[in-house]
Structure 1
Amino acid sequence: MNSSMAPQQYRKPSQAPPKFTATKESLIEDTKKLIERSRNVQDTVVKEITPDAATFEKVLLPIAHDDNKMAIESHIIGFYQAVSTNKELRDASTEAERMMDEFGIEASMREDAFNLVDAVWKKGESLDPESKRLLEKDHKGYIRNGLGIPAGPQRDRFKEIKKRLSEISIVFQKNLNEENGGLWFTKEELDGVPEDLVASWKKGEGENEGKFFMTFKYPDLFPTLKYAKNSNTRRRVFVANENKCPENVALFREAIILRDEKARILGYKNHAEFRIEDKMAKTPKTVDDFLADLRTRLAPGGKKEIEKLLALKQQDLKERGDEKSDDGKYYLWDHRYYDRLMLDRNFQLDEQKIAEYFPLQTTIAGMLKIFEELFGLAFVEIVGKDRDELSETGKGSDIVWHEDTQVFSVWDDESEGNGFVGYLYLDLFPREGKYGHAANFNLQPGYIDENGDRHYPATALVCNFSKPTPKKPSLLKHDEVVTLFHELGHGIHDLVSRTQYSRFHGTSTVRDFVEAPSQMLENWCWTPSQLKSLSHHWSYLSPEYEASYKESSEGERPSERIPDELITSIINTKHINDALFNLRQLHFGMFDMAVHEPESHDAVQKLKVSETYNRLRKEISQLDGPEALDERKGDWTWGNGQATFGHLIGGYDAGYYGYLSSQVYSTDMFYSVFKADPMNGVEGRRYRHTVLERGGSMEEMDILEEFLGRKPSTEAFYRELGISN
């Protein structure tokens, strides 16, 4: 609902939304102030408290309260680099984040503060569970940050490495965000690619006269790989995209070498052992065994799927009178095309037709309604003059960062007590310089302040769906509906979390659990009743759209809701080429482990990273790359996919397996609790209060066991994939 129609109890949020009025100067100034305030808090604690007098309340609490305040501003300061249209503002945001990271490293390596925390730790005070967890994590954090290393050259080197790794991560991501390459193609080379897409591309002049510029951004890249009939076009696109950020190649290599050195200084065998120790898996062996078991189970399925796809490719080339192109191989750049063709032919899955039933705005409204019913929430979109009233400056434009941004106040519904929950923002369309994937960003965490009052969270979904035009709304393909549900799942986790400390808020869980709640919610996109209720044919949205639909299509206007046969075709395709999809994920996960658990430091220095990436991809996914072409026989250096793999530099290092392991947890939760009745509000609320509300304030395995009533099992996951023993 929107704010002008909202019932009285949902009109006045108890906390104003954040402001987005920064300038490049204010970002840097505010960052300096935040850092100075934080440093003063630490200095004061260190100056006034002796180890003998150290208690949780005197040492950790003031710093935790400062952390809470810091997060209220710092997340937004760093957020501008992902969403601002102003390059200077993005650069300042990146610089501010670098300053904060640097300060974070300095703060986490203060020996004087560590000595006090160590003293509190040794006293073993009786604390509430969340405070006890804070003490444990902080104490361990100092040790993981090198304070167990005696002062001297080794500790200095450790600090230097941490600083350099932080710089690498920022520059690597910036290179990816600002990458603006692409390829020029003629109309003939783009045969098969949707015409309205090609028409929206930049048109060439001079030597590129008559050509169209395809960028590497997903809304251009994926449809080209899916629909271009010309295999040479697809190959050029695929290989160029794997090589799109050459400046990241050296940065990636430097990062894995420095991580290894840092882990060894701390006394770990390698970086993977260091990273996995405090996750749910605990040891690299657990991860390696899980991935190896999965690979063994998936490999035969992958082989069968390739045989079918290769037969389809051969049939397709024959139909087009192009048998001479058939060399009996199935290539990486064939996969999106023939995967799509198989769905079109064997399952009559017409993605464009399905997309007509999922206009972006009604789909979002439908999703929010599902979350309202399941979790006991109410979403109120804040529009028009209500934005002015809510804004502390009286200007509604100050509470969003871009005119396309939608903002909602989120409330508990009556059954949950009508309280205010937080703010949700949606920023859905691509633009220059914007973060290129779909992600959820926490803008402000929730926590309890020093007066015992709650601060409420604000969270943003940043996506890149196609923009509406005067004649057609933005339409979502089914996989984009799944993506939106997934990211909104993170957003809900972020909103309903209620922790004492911002440190544990929302999605601040261990990395091999964080995806599970969102992955579980994806199941609603594969449930017939939910697909039906989410759907709404775009021609019913307005008289203008109805007229434009009639203009552009022959025959009768379709039904308002998606027909059952289309739903059946979607559901039937859920596991088509699933083994290949999971083998692709497995390639990422096993490459991640390969570069992070070398036998020795010398081994990681000698590692041929690009070759390892490409060779492992072939061995695991079984698809051929350019190394199988006659002119490149056996050459594994054709691409640098790792240089475009932001996850491994942005926090998923020795953690990418988490996507697969959390899939195990999410399938287990869905099968055990929701499969029989996905809209069961009693279970939905139990899930909200048992799993989502706690964020990372408890051991995640304990949360999971409490919700399931037993230890998690891989059975449901393998059953869902059709590969159970």
Structure 2
Amino acid sequence: MPVSKIIQVATLSFFLFIGIVLVLAPPSRFVSRVSAIFDHLAPSSTKSSLRPTSSASRPLTTSAMAPQRFKKLPQAPPLFIGTPKSVIEDVKRMIERSRDLENKLVAEVKPQEASFDNILLPMAYDENEGGLEGHIIGFYQSVSTDQALRDASTEAEKLMDDYSIESSMREDVYKLVEAVFNKGDKLDAESQRLLEKTHKGYIRNGLGLPAGPKRDRYKEIKKRLSQLCIVFSKNLNEEIGGIWFTPKELEGVPEDVTSLFEKGEGENAGKLRMTFKKPDYFPTLKYAKNPATRKKALIDDNNKLPQNIPIFREVIMLRDEAARLLGYPNHAAFVIEDKMAKTTKTVDDFLGDLRQRLKEGGRSELKTLTEMKKQDYKSLGMEESFDGKYYLWDNRYYDRLMLEKDYSLDQAKIAEWFPLETSIRGMLTVFETLFGLVFVEVTGGDRTSISPSGKGDDIVWHPDCQVFSVWDSEDQGSGFVGYLYLDLHPREGKYGHAANFNIQPGFINANGTRHYPVTALVCNFSKPTPKKPSLLKHEEVTTLFHELGHGIHDLVSKTHYSRFHGTNVVRDFVEAPSQMLENWCWTPSQLKALSQHYSTLSPEYEASWREQAGQDASTPEKKIPDELIENLIKTKHVNDALFNLRQLHFGIFDMTIHEPKSHDEAEAFKLSEMYNRLGYEITLLDTPAQLGAGYDWGHGQTTFGHLLGGYDAGYYGYLSSQVYSADMFHSVFAADPMNREQGRRYRHMVLEKGGSQDEMETLKGFLGREPNGDAFYRELGIA
């Protein structure tokens, strides 16, 4: 999901300054296997070649072949020309501009004269403008190869956060907003929503407290929390740990993976280094035959960030203290009040009910997998070392083995039909057809011609980036929509997961013209090699489709204020649109359309495939065979209960640490022990504690970026959003996923609205009724 870096302040100017990051964290298992079942957030040559000689479907329009009307861009793309010096100077300038505006409003407008037009609108327009530069400044820390620029971006974010807190607690500005709120003037719906949320935001940021020690302490806590969360995230992004293994210890891990591992020298001569980045770590857990290798990988990954242990603890304590200062019983009550769920009881009941429903299925799946492990140990001559237990580090391995043996599912084989570039082109074609869009890739000299600086390199932050101008199709009016960026491969210092970043929000300018959005997908798919392009496992296909879904939400949204643009919706709804779109990756016709065997991309790839498969091997079909699709579809719900129990572990841990009965109880939390004990009790899987190590064997919570990045008391949203996504898909799209009429209706009634209206009203308007969980529970087989 999403890790979100949205500054939660009351006033407008910097509310969205850093933007929104939507990360695909472990989502619905009934929708996909995107992340490791028992490992979340593992935050690692040949230059990417993203230009195959043919594509999965019709070639995407490129700028060279685009119709003339697509070359007349009404808005230039942003420039990525920040330096360590400039980002700090720019932030200070923007802060002063916003502070001057607030000072001017207070000096010139008396409360009795305050109106929406002379108070809220100026601040909203300032917020809109701030997002144009501020999002990019905050973005550098996640994508820049320059350590100094990343550090400056982090420092700039601290300055923005500090100002946001200062601004959110200005009582003089609050009195003007309150005067507008109390007047009750008739406003359009989105403006009324802006007024209500702004007014409530001031109260939630401490201005409901009397001036004095309590309010001062609250402000102090907010600033400290901001600093801690920024450092926590930076530690995650810049983590560079790894483990040296011998080739024998890595037996079973595909050569495509190990060939990219660092080769050891000196004392590590002959060894290979597995990093904790996704392209290294997950395949090691999934394929390494040696259980000791998998065990070491998992335990070391859980212990890779000891510097985050005190940060995590202090954040939990400070959040609880702040909530109690405001009169809430705990932080969860404070957070959830403003979400769709409204109360902690609603969330706790939902998670508890789902846990009970899944428990029996989980035990049954565990019994089957344990028996498979027993038989595997016997076949390897290791039966004497089988202790009857099924550990965390066993699950990815035996889950994969079950799919291969019982369902004839070979993920590596399936991946041959999903080269990264052709898969992207196929996905964009789906969005073109369904939502009425046109994607035009901007390459070569056209980058130079549209760059405000006249330098094509300035409109991207790294040479690997692709950029598209996005347009409405003819039936939607042929208008400009915005820009889409793709940054798809890992590199040092880069954000370590798959995410959608808003680069610039969409909104209506003060002169009535529209500023169009700019959005980016930042992913970490394995790099191509001279013999193979980057090939996507099915789970990665689903990851990409999910994140593109967030990107489309960002692009097609049309709101007046940037505050509500695109994915700026409540946390327990934000994943629903992208989770719904994942269903297309389980639809036979769409899998067929997305696929193209990599050997058909070029003579060189054909030769390398032939070399590996053997000269006598039958030429593969261009499109993925129906038999492989059928085998894949059969696995959709395999070990579903165990997967979702793991999601419940994350969600219940999140709620437990954020709703203690008292602050003394929070102070007494043994967080690592709690995280691991809950994991064992909920997921049913054995851990090092069952080997006598105790429940403090690891500190996996220190890699849980979501909880310090916007999903605090909100991780349940990954599960609750599935209720909405399943309802929308099965009610509207299941019978005909490529129904253009319904696709356009969904675009305009759901995606276009962003957060400009109550999300439940959006859902009810699209469904024509109240949403329900029937489809969700049917999918899980626990209706």
Q: TM-score range by the shorter chain?
A: over 0.9
SS at match of 1:424: strand
Give the helix-richer structure, 1 or 2.
1
Residue identity opposite 1:86 in structure 2: D
SS at match of 2:64: helix
Pick from 758, 768, 771: which aligns with 1:712?
771
Pick from 241, 252, 263: which aligns with 1:181?
241
* Structure with larger RCO (C-alpha < 8 A, sep 6+): 2
Q: CA deviation at 1:201?
A: 1.1
Q: Which residue of 2 aligns with 1:88?
A: 148
Report the more deviating stretch, 274-283 or 9-18. Answer: 9-18
Pick from 653, 658, 668: which aligns with 1:606?
668
Q: Which residue of 1 aligns with 2:640?
A: 578
Q: CA deviation at 1:261?
A: 0.2
Cα distance in structure 2, aligned partners of 1:6 and 1:544: 29
Q: Which residue of 1 aligns with 2:51?
A: none
Residues 519-668 of structure 1: matches in 2 within 5 Å? Answer: 519-554=579-614, 555-629=617-691, 631-632=692-693, 635-668=694-727
Cα distance in structure 2, aligned partners of 1:567 and 1:453: 47
Offset from partner CA, 1:675-725 (integer Å, 9 cap, x none)? 00000000000000000000000000000001001111011000011111x
Cα distance in structure 2, aligned partners of 1:551 and 1:11: 43
SS at match of 2:439: strand
Unaligned 5+ segments in structure 2 are: 1-60
Does residue 77 of the first structure (1) align with residue 137 of the second (2)? yes
Offset from partner CA, 1:651-690 (integer Å, 9 cap, x none)? 0000000000001100000000000000000000000000
Q: CA deviation at 1:191?
A: 1.0
Residue identity opposite 2:344 in structure 1: P
Offset from partner CA, 1:149-175 (integer Å, 9 cap, x none)? 001011010000000000011000000
Q: CA deviation at 1:200?
A: 1.6
Cα distance in structure 2, aligned partners of 1:115 and 1:685: 43
Cα distance in structure 1, aligned partners of 2:260 and 2:481: 40
Q: CA deviation at 1:206?
A: 2.1
Pick from 734, 747, 750: which aligns with 1:688?
747
SS at match of 1:475: coil
Cα distance in structure 2, aligned partners of 1:557 and 1:90: 48
Residue identity opposite 1:561 in structure 2: K
Q: Which residue of 1 aligns with 2:252?
A: 192
Residue identity opposite 1:149 in structure 2: L
Cα distance in structure 2, aligned partners of 1:383 and 1:528: 33
Residue identity opposite 2:708 in structure 1: I
CA RMSD of aligned residues (A): 0.6
Q: CA deviation at 1:254?
A: 0.4
Cα distance in structure 1, aligned partners of 2:639 and 2:63: 44
TM-score (norm 2): 0.92
Offset from partner CA, 1:584-614 (integer Å, 9 cap, x none)? 0000000000000000000000011111100
Q: Which residue of 2 aligns with 1:214?
A: 274
Q: CA deviation at 1:199?
A: 2.3
Pick from 431, 452, 456: which aligns with 2:516?
456
Residue identity opposite 1:576 in structure 2: V
Q: Which residue of 2 aligns with 1:235?
A: 295
Residue identity opposite 2:697 in structure 1: W
Does residue 247 of the first structure (1) align with residue 313 of the second (2)? no
Residues 243-642 of structure 1: matches in 2 within 5 Å? Answer: 243-554=303-614, 555-629=617-691, 631-632=692-693, 635-642=694-701
SS at match of 1:353: helix
Offset from partner CA, 1:397-452 (integer Å, 9 cap, x none)? 00000000000000000000000000000000000000000000000000001100
Q: Which residue of 2 aligns with 1:671?
A: 730
Q: CA deviation at 1:470?
A: 2.2
Cα distance in structure 2, aligned partners of 1:241 and 1:258: 27
SS at match of 2:469: strand
Cα distance in structure 2, aligned partners of 1:338 and 1:548: 30
Q: Which runs of 4+ in 1 moved over 3 A?
A: none
Unaligned 5+ segments in structure 1 are: none
Q: Which residue of 1 aligns with 2:194?
A: 134
Q: Which residue of 1 aligns with 2:44?
A: none
Residue identity opposite 2:719 in structure 1: L
SS at match of 1:513: coil
SS at match of 2:521: strand
Residue identity opposite 1:17 in structure 2: P
Count of aligned residue pairs for this structure pair: 721
SS at match of 1:558: coil
Cα distance in structure 2, aligned partners of 1:122 and 1:352: 62
Offset from partner CA, 1:48-68 (integer Å, 9 cap, x none)? 000010001011100000000
Offset from partner CA, 1:91-118 (integer Å, 9 cap, x none)? 0011111111111111111000000000
Q: Which residue of 2 aligns with 1:100?
A: 160
Residue identity opposite 2:750 in structure 1: V
Cα distance in structure 1, aligned partners of 2:266 and 2:156: 42
Q: CA deviation at 1:211?
A: 1.2
SS at match of 2:274: strand
Offset from partner CA, 1:201-258 (integer Å, 9 cap, x none)? 1122222221111110111000000001111111111000011100101111100100
Residue identity opposite 2:780 in structure 1: L
Residue identity opposite 1:18 in structure 2: P
Q: Which residue of 1 aligns with 2:45?
A: none
SS at match of 1:5: coil
Cα distance in structure 1, aligned partners of 2:385 and 2:99: 66
Q: Which residue of 2 aligns with 1:117?
A: 177
SS at match of 2:388: coil
Cα distance in structure 1, aligned partners of 2:83 and 2:674: 44
Cα distance in structure 1, aligned partners of 2:438 and 2:603: 29
Residue identity opposite 1:512 in structure 2: D
